[in-house]
């Protein structure tokens, strides 16, 4: 049944699918190696990457260079390959520095709440309300980044301000100045 379904898919679409699948399978090998070295020191990660990942990355680059001319210029897979090749130096930085993650997923997950709060501020009712929301959201996210309880920090900060903390020294109250 599945073979009959594949026969109905145009040949050029099947070829693009096969090439995309091959690229993803090659990249999945990098992530398998990364899973094995997660939590290791930067030096250990770099050594494993040089020994195991670098040959796979070089093989991927060769495959991309060989595959691109075989594709229609405007096809989605050709565009993706061209993008990867144009960004190659940045894509392979992780090989030479064990401190660098293979991707930016960790950073993107950590800033997602900031982006969501910024988007939510659009519904604050007024420009001033949106500005105030953005300030509070930024301070709360700063608390989280600095491992400070936002509720406790905000409560203590408002009490100190109400008790007459000097306005020109408000920087002393910021979340990054809190000593645990």
Average pLDDT score over the chain: 87
Q: How far apart are CA 40 and CA 38, in angstroms?
A: 6
pLDDT tens, position by position, 25-47: 999 999 999 999 999 999 999 99
For the question of whether the overall pTM of this predicted structure is more than 0.75, the answer is no
Residues 74, 126, single domain; the answer is: no
Q: Report yes or no on 102 lying in a domain.
A: no
Residues 21 and 91 occupy one common structural domain:
yes
Nearest-angstrom CA–CA distance, 9 and 130: 50
Please check whether residues 37 and 90 belong to one and the same domain.
Answer: yes
Measured between alpha carbons, how far is 100 from 46 in angstroms, rounded to an integer?
9
* Number of domains composing the chain: 2
Range of the domain at 64: 2-96
Task: Classify burial at 91, counting beta carbons within 10 Å of its beta carbon; exposed 0-12, middle 13-18, buried 19 or more.
Answer: middle
In angstroms and rounded to an integer, the radius of gyration of the C-alpha atoms of the chain is 25
């Amino acid at each position: 049944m599945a073979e009959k379904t594949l026969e109905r898919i145009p040949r050029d679409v099947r070829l693009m699918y096969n090439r995309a699948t091959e690229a993803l399978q090659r990249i999945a090998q990098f992530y398998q190696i990364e899973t094995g070295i997660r939590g290791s020191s930067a030096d250990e990660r770099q050594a494993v990457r040089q020994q195991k990942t670098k040959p796979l990355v070089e093989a991927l680059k060769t495959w991309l260079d060989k595959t691109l001319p075989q594709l229609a210029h405007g096809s989605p897979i050709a565009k993706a390959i061209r993008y990867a090749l144009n960004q190659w130096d940045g894509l392979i930085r992780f090989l030479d520095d064990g401190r660098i993650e293979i991707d930016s997923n960790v950073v993107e997950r950590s800033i997602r709440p900031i982006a969501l709060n910024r988007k939510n501020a659009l519904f604050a009712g007024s420009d001033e309300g949106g500005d105030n929301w953005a300030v509070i959201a930024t301070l709360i996210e700063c608390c989280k980044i600095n491992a400070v309880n936002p509720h406790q920090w905000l409560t203590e900060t408002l009490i100190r301000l109400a008790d007459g903390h000097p306005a020109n020294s408000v920087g002393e109250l910021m979340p990054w100045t809190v000593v645990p």
